[in-house]
Chain A
Amino acid sequence: MNTPPGILVRDLSLNFGGVTVFEGLGFEIAARKFTALLGPSGVGKTTLLRIIAGLEAPATGQVAASDGAPLAGRIAYMAQQDFLLPWASALRNVMLGATLRGAKPEPERALHLLERVGLGGQAKALPQTLSGGMRQRVALARTLYEDRPIVLMDEPFSALDSITRLRIQNLAAELLAGRTVLLITHDPLEACRLGHALFVLSGTPARLGAPLHVPGPPPRAADDIALLQTQGSLMRTLTEAIAP
């Protein structure tokens, strides 16, 4: 993996179903940091992530890497659902990228990643025999197997119970450290535990507020005083964003 670049979003505009979702939206995602993106449902967070991932095209505007090289091929994407293939074992799901690119799969590396996420013993298991938390950890291992400098995550842990979520957040913070990560979340605690910078997207067309910065390296303890203070500010910002 090369040195992870930052992401520059410039002058982004998009209309959807007669609604102006973005108009001249621009911001920067810092290199090698966790950036959390919050905001009310339907404001366009997922759309923004999909545009950065190259899955959707904006009407106008650009998404570029801060090092000037193309973004294509340098992004790994993890969605809210695990999207594991039900006919393939956990191990084969982790190696899906290699299979799809016609590259030689590396089962040792995949197994090592499964061990890192605590599923070394479940390598041969089919997804449907695993719990929601386990499946999401397989998806995390699959994301890590891609070994991309930029990782985009769309509410990846929202369907998990709070204890499992805390554990997988710790794991994500540890395993994704040093990469450029953009994390969409509805959970202020998750944003404050993992994010270096927190953005709130709100309004029509959607605008980004000034980022909040949380001191200390992630993952932060849930009872950390600085975290709780930031969480309070974040809640206020979110409440104002949703208020009519």
Chain B
Amino acid sequence: MRGVRPATTFLVFLGLWWLVARYSSVPPFMLPPPGDVAAALWTQRGLLLGNTLVTLAEILLGLLCGTVLGGIAALGIVFSPVLQRWLMPVLVVSQAIPVFALAPLMVLWFGFGMAAKIIMAMLVIFFPVTANFADGLRRTPPGWLDLARTMNASPLAVLRHIRLPAGLPAFGSGLRVAAVIAPIGAIIGEWAGASSGLGYVMLNANARIQTPLMFAALFILAALTIALYVLVDRLLRRLLYWAPDTTGG
């Protein structure tokens, strides 16, 4: 029963799409019917699979590096006033500049290969991961810290056994956001200059008016993002078995 609702939503969406494509005056090169997109998915499966793997690798590596760096930055911000003074402006500036505007620069600096895309994905997730985790680390209940003090705990032991685990739910919130927006970073990176990846396929297909192929790439990207979110969410729920979920979900 669990999959019924999303499946229904998906089917209704497909039906509406088909109706608009079939009966409105929108030409197929602007809105191809779902059947054409499915056909493109099948006939171009070799091309799509290869490029999907490239984008997936960029997203996963960006997610991994961004999460590790964001985690380290959050620790630095919370525990070192000096680092906080130096890192906070960098963090705010990294959000003030639209990431899209940085993409051509990244491609110029790091080339047409994967590195520029991984860095783009890192850039978009860095802030949510850092901000959420830093927030979680700052909000350790004072009662736990008092208890630790009466137990003669060292600051490092408090960090390891109390502050870090207590900050994990907030870190998880950042990671969930990161899982959804990391693909945006990778695709923007590909649009700015690439020789492979789903973003590259979309740009090429668009230029050649192969709209069904573009839609197919878009469909894969959406499915990839949803799958990544679900995976991260499940993993976090399992890891944070102790954190209360008051929605009952």
Contact = CB atoms under 8 A, between A and B. Distances in A.
Contacts of B242: 86-87, 126, 128
If over half of B's interface residues share one DSSP class (helix, strand or loop), that class is named, otherwise mixed; here it is: helix
Q: How large is the interface on B (under 10, 10 to 19, 20 to 34, 35 or more residues)?
A: 20 to 34
Interface stretch (B42-50, B155-163, B207-215): B155-163
Interface in A35-87: 50, 53-55, 72-73, 75-77, 79, 81, 83, 85-87
Q: How large is the interface on A (under 10, 10 to 19, 20 to 34, 35 or more residues)?
A: 20 to 34
Contacts of A83: 141, 143-144, 147
A78 to B, nearest CB: 9
A77 to B, nearest CB: 4
A146 B151 contact: yes
A55 B147 CA distance: 9
Nearest to B141: A83
A97 interface: yes
A233 interface: no
Interface string A189-222: 0000000000000000000000000000000000
Interface in B139-176: 141, 143-144, 146-154, 157-158, 161-162, 165
Interface stretch (A11-19, A21-29, A98-106, A109-117): A98-106
A102 B162 contact: no
A81 B244 CA distance: 18
A102 B157 contact: yes
A130 to B, nearest CB: 13
Interface of B: 141, 143-144, 146-154, 157-158, 161-162, 165, 242-244
